[in-house]
Amino acid sequence: MSDKRGKRKIGILGFGCVGQGLYDVLQHNQLLDVANICVKDKTKDRPLPATAFTFDAQELLQDQSLDLLAELISDPNEALLLVRQALQEGKTVVSANKKMIAENLPELVELQRQYGGTLLYEAAVCGSIPILRTLEAYYGTEPLQEISGILNGSSNYILHKLDAEGLSYQEALQQAQVLGFAETNPTLDVGGYDALHKICIIAAHAFGVVIPPQEVLRFGISQVSTQDVALAQAAGARIKLVASAKINTQGKLEVQVLPTFVTPDSELYAVNAEFNGVQLQAKFAGTQFLKGRGAGSHPTGSAVWADVSAALAGYKYNYAKLSAAATATVAADALLRVYLRVEHRGELPNLPWQEVTSFGVNSQVVQLLGTIYRSDLLQHRQELEALGAFIAQVPDELTEEKLLRAAAVTELVAA
């Protein structure tokens, strides 16, 4: 409901990195008024007067004068309760909470359909990059073949520092934390969970397939070593955490989040530091690539602002592919070509490799290149993670011969 000056009124739930970013960017918009902000911690110092805040989310949810709610809190369970309540009342909501959205998408779509409300969540996927709007508005009907990307800025920053400056994983992580690119508890980012939530949301919009995140193969970067990075460099590649969803040769959808040896012919090779990049391949449009800041206060605030403006103008996701009669189905299995390194040679479980080559001369470390079914890796994931194994996908162009040659070079340099 607009006020006397014709301004539309919004309420913000959460005033942390993203909430403050939204508040800042809204100062550049004369037509929107932040009427109320809800936070949790009564003892925190705030950059605005105390009268700007409430600690009771219901004050915002029950305020019929608000045109829109921006849900930007850090707790996904609480966020779901708030968004669910708002949608049940047919309200217009924007959110940046990827975990909450990825894990509850069918319910959130159904609530919008049933009660007529709107939920937009561009900021939840790649911060400032408008990937969901691109998928909805331009590729809502055109068949897509693949979407792959670097969807997590923190892990990309760390991998970049290892590659470009030779830092260790711990040094790069600490630097990322000091600069605010990584959380104090970085598990969601470096464990690949954040990218996983994002690729699941992307898969729903791009292919009309809702995949429970826990069913997707995911490995993170927390075990990467300078040895792995040196091997990739000697082979002419860079290690990146790549999330992908692609239609395979049998027409089935394959989704995964895996560290990957990326070669210079991929657009993702040059996505460095805290940047995100997404490439999509459409049946008729061909290949497209978007790059930008995937996180941070103002880039994410900007994406939320874009959603706020679009939602107030009546825009909704139409979920064309989700409601299409013939959506893709998820591939039962797939053969992957992976590099695996683990310390303590004796402890490696007996994995059902289809083909495997062992290399490296250090008796404490085992390095393998092999092919293995995704289901087998999924089955052994916990065991491999507990052992501290680093796993990365290797593209076919990095032949076994090339990789063994690269390994020999890195051994010589290390010797």
Ligand X SMILES: NC(=O)c1ccc[n+]([C@@H]2O[C@H](COP(=O)([O-])OP(=O)(O)OC[C@H]3O[C@@H](n4cnc5c(N)ncnc54)[C@H](OP(=O)(O)O)[C@@H]3O)[C@@H](O)[C@H]2O)c1
Q: Is 187 in the site for ligand X (CB under 6 A)?
A: no
Q: Is 38 in the site for ligand X (CB under 6 A)?
A: yes
Between CA 62 and CA 127 the distance in angstroms is 29
Q: Is 14 in the site for ligand X (CB under 6 A)?
A: yes
Residue that is written with structure tokens 């959506």 in the block: 327
Residue that is written with structure tokens 């791009």 in the block: 206
* Nearer to ligand X among residue 127 and residue 191 (C-beta): 127
- Helices 226-234, 153-165: axis angle to 10 degrees equals 70
Between CA 316 and CA 312 the distance in angstroms is 10
In the complex, the smallest distance separating the C-beta of residue 263 from ligand X, rounded to whole angstroms, is 29
Segment contacting ligand X by CB under 6 A, of 38-46, 163-171, 343-351, 405-413: 38-46
* Nearer to ligand X among residue 57 and residue 144 (C-beta): 57
Between CA 69 and CA 74 the distance in angstroms is 15
- Binding residue for ligand X, selected from 8, 11, 12, 18, defined by CB under 6 A: 18
What sign does the dihedral 221-224-229-235 (CA atoms) show? negative
* Nearer to ligand X among residue 99 and residue 161 (C-beta): 99
Inter-CA distances, 8 with 78, 313, 357, 389, Å: 26, 11, 63, 53
Q: Which of residues 267-306 bind ligand X (CB under 6 A)?
A: 295-296, 300
- Binding residue for ligand X, selected from 97, 156, 393, 410, defined by CB under 6 A: 97
The phi, psi pair for 400, rounded to 5°, reads: -60, -40
Between CA 371 and CA 325 the distance in angstroms is 35
Amino acid at 177: Q
Q: Please indicate whether residue 198 is annotated as part of the active site.
A: yes
Q: Is 101 in the site for ligand X (CB under 6 A)?
A: no
* Nearer to ligand X among residue 160 and residue 238 (C-beta): 160
Q: Is 149 in the site for ligand X (CB under 6 A)?
A: no
* Nearer to ligand X among residue 296 and residue 370 (C-beta): 296
- Binding residue for ligand X, selected from 123, 159, 336, 366, defined by CB under 6 A: 123
Amino acid at 303: A
- Binding residue for ligand X, selected from 12, 32, 39, 109, defined by CB under 6 A: 39
Q: Is 15 in the site for ligand X (CB under 6 A)?
A: yes
Structure tokens given for 109:
């779509």
DSSP bridge pairs for 289? 279
In the complex, the smallest distance separating the C-beta of residue 81 from ligand X, rounded to whole angstroms, is 9
Structure tokens given for 134:
């691109």
- Binding residue for ligand X, selected from 26, 34, 57, 262, defined by CB under 6 A: 57
Nearest-CB residue to ligand X? Answer: 16
At 248 the three-state DSSP class reads coil
Residue that is written with structure tokens 């950059």 in the block: 47
In the complex, the smallest distance separating the C-beta of residue 300 from ligand X, rounded to whole angstroms, is 4
Between CA 13 and CA 80 the distance in angstroms is 12
Can you give the binding site for ligand X, defined by CB under 6 A?
13-19, 38-41, 44, 57, 72-75, 78, 96-98, 123-124, 127, 295-296, 300
The residues annotated with a catalytic role in the active site are 198
